[in-house]
Chain A
Amino acid sequence: MILTLNTYEAVEPEKVSRWFKAAPVEKFPKNGGACVKYKGMQIAVFNFTREGTWYACQNLCPHKMEMVLSRGMIGEDQGEPKVACPLHKNSFSLKTGKHLNGDLNRIATYPVKIEGDFVYIGFSE
């Protein structure tokens, strides 16, 4: 909990001060995720092809503090895009980071943009 609070903070689209060039688009599986390293952080990036959108959030699952969310299945709950943690299937909204099937802490989400064939993640620093 403390680790999350200190390390990962959600970034609002209008607060982005740096777009980090993460990796080429083809590195991310369709309708799935992969993990990006940025400074000391691990960011899970999801290519939600069915929606035609990209999402990013912390790779750390706040339940047991393991770096695994990028390996989770993505999907949707009543229209809310989500990722299910591969360890215990805790689901988090990819839009707001809210824990959808319990009351764990919110996870941090980050803006993503695609330019050229590259994926960029927005940070504010």
Chain B
Amino acid sequence: MKTVIVVGNGMVGYKFCEKFVAKVDQGSFKLIVFGEEPRVAYDRVHLSEYFENGDAERLSMAPREWYQENNIELYTNERVTDIHRNSKTITTLSEKTYNYDYLVLATGSSPFVPQINGVDKDGVFVYRTIEDLEEMLAYADKIRKTVKKPKAAILGGGLLGLEAAKAVMDMGMEPHVVEFAPKLMPRQLDTRSSKVLQVKLKSMGINIHLSKATNQILGNGHVIGMEFGEDDVLNVDMLVISAGIRPRDELGKSCGLKMGTRGGIAVDNKMRTSDSSIFAIGEIALYNQMIYGLVAPGYEMAGVAVDQILGMEQTVMAAEIDMSTKLKLIGVDVASFGTPFMPAEKGHSIIFENKTESLYKRINVSHDGKRLLGGILVGDAKDYNMLLQMYLNEMPLPKNPENLILGSRGGEDVSFGSAMDLPDTAIVCSCEAVTKGQICCSVKENGNESVKAISKATKATTGCGGCKPMVDDLVKETLKSLGKVVKESICEHFEYSRQELYDLVKLRKIEDYDSLLDEVGKGHGCEVCKPAVASIFASIYNETANRQATIQDTNDRYLANIQRNGTYSVVPRVAAGEITPKQLLAIGRIAQKYDLYTKITGGQRIDMFGAQLHELPPIWEELIAEGFETGQAYGKSLRTVKSCVGSTWCRYGMDESVTFAIDIENRYKGIRSPHKIKGGVSGCIRECAEARNKDFGFIAVEGGWNVYICGNGGANPQHAQLLAEKVDREIATKYVDRFLMYYIQTAPPLTRTAAWLDKLEGGIDYVKDVVINDCLGIAEQLDSEMQYLVDTYKCEWKEAVENPEIRARYTHFVNAEETDDNIEFVSLREQKMPKAWV
């Protein structure tokens, strides 16, 4: 039995073990691993997560038991000190000796600490291991006791340096990044993208100091500042050095392996060093005169070394290594691929920059416009995967390559094809070298029909995770190509669409959420199905949001709209916008008494902002005493019916729009629906009530009312479509009754009528068929269901203030009378407004 010794238990060392045990027969090789750190190999790429959870276990690549299960002898906290090539043995710090047939060096790198006067002072750290982090945390805790707002500098504005800046920010310190070069991330970004990133980071509270050469570190015993030049000093309480890496190649040097002039152990494309029994992989390997400080090439090297040891000599390292990277830096997307900076003689660049949005996109295109050579993305890297694939697979560029970063702007030239257009050999997950072909095959042949299943089977997405969206697309598209429907179930707890669930509730006469979950669902529910089901109960039984309060969406639960500081707004119904002077005075008095900010809404009523939870019942009690009722501004329900003044006053008016609007608003008030519903009534075709951008609208014309449905304003404005022409009020109302009821029963959750109509097969003509021609034979049923809702309306705020049990819900604390002292207001134009978010 041959023995393989791996020196180093970092990410690449671990990957070697993983690939090795997967390929080798038990008992044919003995694998021994030495790690210098006390912990088993962990994910250094996500080191800053340790701050968020303090959980070292979660970072580990595999638990200690994994090594046992795979018969790997693992020695942590044990440094290898010497290699004796003649006797093929190694010795360790505890002076033990082991024989090897093959030796794999994966000792990685250590942080480079420049020779600056004072780097040995207390409070100067490097950022590499969990232990480094723990020491930084302890020091930060100590400082915070004496300094109110401590500052920490990070020496080095590269990738790791910016990660470290986030870490010190999380520790409650003010971060200052100090970089020698005139730009951030000098290896990945050009000057302009660096500027964009700089502006963004600055806005997040990270201070950037560029073109700074540090002369010395100041302080008596512990760091108090950095000196750049005469009179150029930055006072800091802590310093983190992140100025690059140096390969841990001392073992190779001392046993006489061939080294690079600036360090690193020289290897060939088989990962062999100058001694054919010794391999070097990861950040100590000098391949093509380069050290690769990324995970993906390290993993590939591990795979090559495994195959070479097992005699599969045809596996060699690619001649060119892709150094593309994408990461989320402190919440900002940054990516670069291929040749990010390109001399003009090789091609030309297309650059889009928008500093106000912190966006920068650059692609480099060959002179003939046929190939993508590289690029840089800052602020938005969602197209990175596709761009990278186009670059790696040398795919032809579209006619207008600028569409790749600007998106298609109306022409026929669609920017990207789908992920399915990639060749099967395209590597989708570069960390684990998984191709598109492997993923699609795993879906088709092994029945792995979700990203989760694919990642388990192929390991794709388990590295940096950047390929997840593309894997998701591939899974969905492959399923579609197999003719499998991706079912429209509302969430993991109910395998039904909203419409199916609606029918089930009605058919089985189920009246509460828990029973529904028990009878036709599974698990314990979530924030998606709870409000959807609450809406169904409301539509069928007209129950108010008070009965099953904890399944209601945020606003319904407390019958008010939650606002940015956790306070609520109050909106009484003012049907059609008609209000008496007496009612206006009442609203004014109440708003003044409770110090509420008031504003006229777009729906012709008055919104009062800034009420705390406990103030809601007394405010409503007073409003109700003045004759108001709830305006349901908080609900997915009828909001308002907007009206123009109509023939009563207007000299152009064809009919009485205000009266009609009041009657209609009172008819549909309180009715809950898949999304909010708005209406409008205009007295003539001048359309002052904007009825055609409402879910339903009536416009008075010569000879009756025109009825429009399925319009909306909002994010995707859409004009309403004509349902019926020149009908009288009764018929107009009947058609809208039926339309609304049909929509309520068939729409998916949170879908406005316009979006519902877009997806409805047959469109407006089909709705006409159902509502006017009764092609489904359900018109009468729709009529009576609507009439039931109209007849059983009650004001849910009246119900709430009159019921002590419901009223008791309106307290901030259950164990104290106090109110939330976290709420802060500032003044604005003689009213109040919430203090801005930090």
Contact = CB atoms under 8 A, between A and B. Distances in A.
Interface of A: 1-2, 5-6, 22-23, 27-32, 34-37, 42, 45, 48, 50-51, 60, 64-68, 71-79, 81-82, 84, 86-87, 89, 91, 96-98, 103, 105-106
Contacts of A96: 53
B550 A29 contact: yes
B203 to A, nearest CB: 15
B825 interface: no
B527 A75 contact: yes
A73 B551 contact: yes
B171 to A, nearest CB: 7
Interface string B552-565: 01100110001011
Nearest 10 pairs between A and B by C-beta? A32-B550, A75-B526, A86-B554, A84-B527, A27-B814, A76-B524, A73-B527, A37-B816, A2-B172, A23-B815
Given A73-B551, A106-B52, A106-B53, A34 B814 contact: yes
B527 A42 contact: no
Q: Most chain-B Cβ atoms within 10 A of its Cβ — which of A23, A71, A98?
A: A71
Nearest to B820: A67
Q: Which interface residue of B531, B553, B566 has the most chain A CB atoms within 10 A?
A: B566
Counting contact residues on chain B (CB < 8 A from A), the size range is 35 or more
B94 interface: no
Given A22-B814, A29-B550, A35-B812, A68 B527 contact: no
A51 B815 contact: no
B837 interface: yes
A89 B527 contact: yes
B814 A35 contact: yes
A32 B172 contact: no
B492 interface: yes
B805 to A, nearest CB: 10
Given A1-B172, A75-B527, 18 more contacts: A6-B172, A28-B814, A29-B549, A34-B814, A35-B814, A36-B814, A36-B815, A37-B813, A37-B816, A42-B820, A51-B524, A66-B565, A66-B566, A76-B525, A84-B527, A87-B566, A105-B170, A106-B53
B818 interface: yes
A72 B553 CA distance: 8
Interface string B527-539: 1011100000000
A84 B526 contact: yes
A50 B52 CA distance: 30
A82 B526 contact: yes
Given A37-B816, A87-B562, A78 B492 contact: yes
Contacts of A6: 172
A74 B837 CA distance: 25
B809 interface: yes
Interface of B: 52-53, 169-172, 328, 492-493, 514, 517, 523-527, 529-531, 549-551, 553-554, 557-558, 562, 564-566, 809, 812-816, 818, 820, 822-823, 837-838
A98 B53 contact: yes
6 contacts: A22-B815, A50-B525, A64-B837, A73-B531, A75-B525, A75-B526
Contact of B822 (A48, A66, A86): A66
A61 to B, nearest CB: 9
Contacts of B171: 5
B527 A91 contact: yes
A5 B170 contact: yes
Nearest to B818: A37
Contacts of A36: 813-815
B822 A42 contact: yes
A1 B172 CA distance: 8
A52 B550 CA distance: 16
Contacts of B172: 1-2, 5-6
A37 B410 CA distance: 56
B807 to A, nearest CB: 14
Contacts of B52: 103, 105-106
Contacts of B813: 35-37, 42
